[in-house]
């Protein structure tokens, strides 16, 4: 076995996993309605491409993202689109969002599928397109579109591909059961991803509290180059950054992504979905969900259609409604509570805990921090949780940020051990939120101020130009007048012969003088180099360049946002700057065009 490293901190919460591993994966079946949120992943929400009343087939695309980063949504079964409206979706804030409601017709009729027997014959991009069109996004945490993740920037070669089967959160066994029962599919999906990425090393990491899953994976990977890493059970070993540290000894740079150090992590469920997408042509319409907790009679894992209301799922697991006190979506360490059972299962839902009051009791009231340092002892990111807490509580966000608040992965280990039962993570979330709001406002006001200043400057400039032109004209007119007079006198003395020539020469002179004064005026007015030479073509080119730069920056920003990278604010500033650059270029171009128009105008009038 390959070498393993340790990561700092960590805790050992009670595992509570055996409840849900006692039964094999069951099929939850088809509920009487399915609710499909249009946004189930990071990126742009999809747009419905069906309307109420349409009949759709199982696997049919019903919403897609045409602009920006995102993946489509498919009908999990055949049926009629009932409506497209705002409904409660799984979200920590308990918000509503756009959803398509599908009324199944019970026939479960598939769309004709296009499985690929030998993906190696295809282009890598074609396989990536299949993955995208199958609606795959990460099935572990945040839900990043899989096809985008599988296409790291060209200069970032992925040398280690990690399949994350650590599953360190208590209660959750979805990956465990998937590995036990679908080992072949897991490996097949991993092979496809490895073929796309061509890494030097492929590792499947499993915590040592899942011997059955490890054995299944050992059998399935026999004879392949894929390594199996059995890692010590410690929360949060399944955190991407921690897992990378365990397997490679390397750290993901702050604000960076794993690809920066040549590593990529994928989820077990994602591997299965890739395999199904490629070899069976099936889009992502179902997933494995652990339903557990002491308030359900038959905890276990279910294969659930995406969009299945949680209510229905709990029913299947034998919910004892009178006992249920807290509903957690996700694990007990990082999951969030649900207000209602009306929300649907989405692509990222891996676990549902219906807990009794004694199982997950309310924490005792918060006491003052005694600086015991327990929190720093267990922090896997080696932060100073108590200092972060002090600063967050005192609204000294600057200081909290300086102490690397944004490196906090919100794993909850610190809150888990705090003897004063301070809800530390809650304070960090609050501080992060506040900082982001402040930054956005700052950015907005900066942008508004810059725009205002630019406008002010332009108005002034225009005013000056007008003034200058007026003066020039007056001067030219006066000159012409005096010349005419002189010529008339001259003609009177020299005779008519020279008259014509002289007046022509005077006209030319006049025009030259006018042009010169205009150039001088523009030179004097502005320091901007683009304005020295109001060459429309160059300006157009500049504008184009600025626009394309802005687009790239915007793209980078979107990417960074979805990965929650730390350079978001930097990029945001860059985008703002480029916005202004485009604006300036546009202004310059319009000015130049106006000027040209003026020129021709003034020439034609005289």
Residues 316-335 that bind other proteins (CB under 8 A): 321, 324-328, 330, 332-335
User: Of 78, 164, 420, 542, which one interacts with other proteins (CB under 8 A)?
Assistant: 420
Pick the closest to residue 353 from 287, 299, 307 (CA basis).
299
Q: How crowded is residue 288: how many other Cβ atoms within 10 Å of its Cβ? A: 24
- Which region, judged by CB under 6 A, interacts with ligand SF4, from 265-273, 318-326, 380-388, 479-487? 380-388
User: Of 112, 365, 495, 529, which one interacts with other proteins (CB under 8 A)?
Assistant: 365
Q: Is 11 in the site for ligand SF4 (CB under 6 A)?
A: no
Q: Is 589 in the site for ligand SF4 (CB under 6 A)?
A: no
Nearer to other proteins, 339 or 475 (CB): 339
Q: Is 421 in the site for other proteins (CB under 8 A)?
A: yes
Nearer to ligand SF4, 272 or 413 (CB): 413
Six-digit token string for 588: 């310059």
CB 179 within 8 A of CB 201: no
User: Of 413, 530, 571, 582, which one interacts with ligand SF4 (CB under 6 A)?
Assistant: 413
Strand partners of residue 266: 163
CB 22 within 8 A of CB 86: no
249 binds, among other proteins, ligand SF4, none (CB under 5 to 8 A by kind): none
Q: Is 371 in the site for ligand SF4 (CB under 6 A)?
A: yes
Q: How far is CA 410 from the centre of its chain?
A: 18
Q: Please give the torsion angle defined by the CA atoms of residues 497, 502, 504 and 510, in that order, rounded to the nearest 10 degrees.
A: -170
Residue partners of 93: CB distance under 8 A and separation at least 6: none
| Residue list 169-208, contact with other proteins (CB under 8 A) | 170
Strand partners of residue 56: 79
- Which region, judged by CB under 6 A, interacts with ligand SF4, from 216-224, 260-268, 385-393, 446-454? 385-393
Q: Is 417 in the site for other proteins (CB under 8 A)?
A: yes
> What is the distance between the alpha carbons of residues 381 and 104, in angstroms, rounded to a whole number?
46
| Helix ranges restricted to H, 1-88 | 18-21
Q: At closest approach, how far in Å is the CB of 396 from ligand SF4?
A: 16
Q: How far is CA 348 from the centre of its chain?
A: 15
Q: What is the DSSP-derived secondary structure letter of residue 111?
A: P
- Classified as helix, coil or strand, 238 is coil
Q: Is 564 in the site for other proteins (CB under 8 A)?
A: no
Q: How crowded is residue 206: how many other Cβ atoms within 10 Å of its Cβ? A: 28
426 binds, among ligand SF4, other proteins, none (CB under 5 to 8 A by kind): other proteins
Q: Is 403 in the site for ligand SF4 (CB under 6 A)?
A: no
User: Of 129, 142, 372, 478, which one interacts with other proteins (CB under 8 A)?
Assistant: 372
Q: Residue 300: in which H helix or E strand, if any?
A: strand 300-305
366 binds, among other proteins, ligand SF4, none (CB under 5 to 8 A by kind): none
- Which region, judged by CB under 6 A, interacts with ligand SF4, from 72-80, 108-116, 364-372, 434-442? 364-372
389 binds, among ligand SF4, other proteins, none (CB under 5 to 8 A by kind): ligand SF4
338 binds, among other proteins, ligand SF4, none (CB under 5 to 8 A by kind): other proteins
Site string for ligand SF4, 140-159 (x = CB under 6 A): --------------------
Residue partners of 75: CB distance under 8 A and separation at least 6: 36, 56, 57, 58, 59, 60, 62, 102, 285
List the 73-74 sheet strands across, edge first. 47-48, 61-64, 73-74
Residues at the site binding ligand SF4, with contacts judged by CB under 6 A? 369-375, 378-381, 383, 385-386, 389, 408-414, 417-420, 422, 424-425
């Amino acid at each position: 076995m390959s070498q393993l490293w340790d990561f700092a901190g960590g805790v050992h919460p009670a595992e509570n996993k055996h409840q849900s591993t006692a039964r094999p994966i069951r099929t939850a079946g088809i509920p009487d309605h399915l609710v499909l949120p249009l946004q189930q992943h990071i990126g742009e929400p999809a747009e419905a491409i069906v309307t109420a009343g349409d009949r759709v087939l199982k696997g049919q695309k019903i919403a897609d993202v045409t602009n920006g980063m995102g993946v489509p949504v498919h009908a999990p079964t055949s049926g009629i689109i009932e409506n497209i409206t705002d409904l409660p979706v799984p979200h920590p804030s308990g918000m509503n969002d756009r959803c398509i409601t599908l009324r199944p017709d019970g026939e479960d009729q598939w769309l004709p599928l296009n499985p690929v027997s030998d993906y190696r014959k295809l282009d890598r991009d074609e396989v990536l397109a299949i993955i995208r069109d199958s609606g795959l996004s990460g099935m572990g945490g945040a839900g990043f579109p899989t096809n985008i993740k599988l296409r790291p920037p060209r200069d970032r070669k992925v040398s280690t591909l990690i399949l994350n089967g650590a599953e360190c959160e208590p209660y959750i066994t979805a990956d465990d059961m998937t590995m036990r029962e679908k080992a072949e599919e897991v490996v097949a999906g991993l092979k496809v991803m490895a073929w796309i990425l061509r890494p030097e090393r492929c590792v499947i990491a499993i915590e040592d509290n899942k011997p059955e899953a490890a054995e299944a994976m050992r059998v399935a990977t026999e004879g392949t180059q894929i390594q199996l890493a059995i890692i010590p059970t410690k929360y949060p070993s399944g955190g991407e950054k921690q897992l990378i540290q365990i397997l490679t000894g390397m750290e993901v740079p702050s604000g960076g992504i794993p690809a920066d150090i040549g590593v990529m992590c994928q989820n077990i469920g994602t591997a299965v979905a890739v395999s199904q997408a490629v070899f069976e042509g099936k889009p992502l319409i179902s997933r494995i969900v652990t339903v557990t907790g002491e308030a359900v009679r038959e905890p276990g894992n279910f294969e659930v259609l995406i969009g299945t209301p949680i209510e229905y799922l709990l029913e299947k697991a034998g919910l004892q409604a009178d006992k249920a006190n807290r509903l957690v979506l996700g694990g007990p360490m990082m999951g969030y509570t649900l207000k209602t059972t009306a929300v649907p299962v989405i692509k990222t839902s891996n676990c549902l805990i219906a807990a009794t009051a004694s199982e997950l009791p309310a924490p005792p009231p918060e006491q003052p921090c005694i600086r015991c340092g327990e929190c720093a002892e267990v922090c896997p990111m080696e932060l100073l949780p108590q200092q972060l807490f002090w600063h967050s509580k005192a609204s000294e966000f600057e200081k909290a940020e300086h102490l690397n608040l944004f490196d906090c992965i919100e794993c909850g280990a610190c809150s888990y051990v705090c003897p004063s039962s301070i809800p530390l993570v809650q304070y960090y979330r609050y501080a992060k939120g506040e900082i982001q709001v402040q930054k956005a406002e700052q950015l907005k006001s900066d942008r508004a101020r810059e725009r205002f200043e630019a406008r002010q400057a332009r108005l002034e400039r225009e005013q000056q130009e007008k003034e200058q032109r007026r003066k020039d004209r007056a001067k030219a007119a006066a000159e012409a007048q005096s010349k005419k007079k002189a010529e008339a006198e001259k003609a009177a003395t020299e005779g008519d012969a020279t008259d014509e020539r002289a007046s022509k020469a005077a006209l030319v002179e006049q025009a030259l003088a006018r042009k010169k004064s205009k150039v001088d005026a523009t030179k004097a007015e502005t320091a901007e180099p683009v304005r020295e030479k109001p060459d429309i073509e160059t300006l157009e080119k500049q504008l184009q360049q600025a626009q394309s730069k802005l687009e790239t920056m915007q793209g980078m920003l979107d990417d960074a946002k979805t990965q929650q990278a730390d350079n978001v604010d930097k990029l945001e500033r860059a985008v703002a700057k480029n916005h202004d650059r485009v604006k300036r270029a546009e202004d310059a171009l319009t000015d130049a065009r106006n000027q040209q128009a003026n020129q021709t105008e003034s020439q034609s009038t005289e």
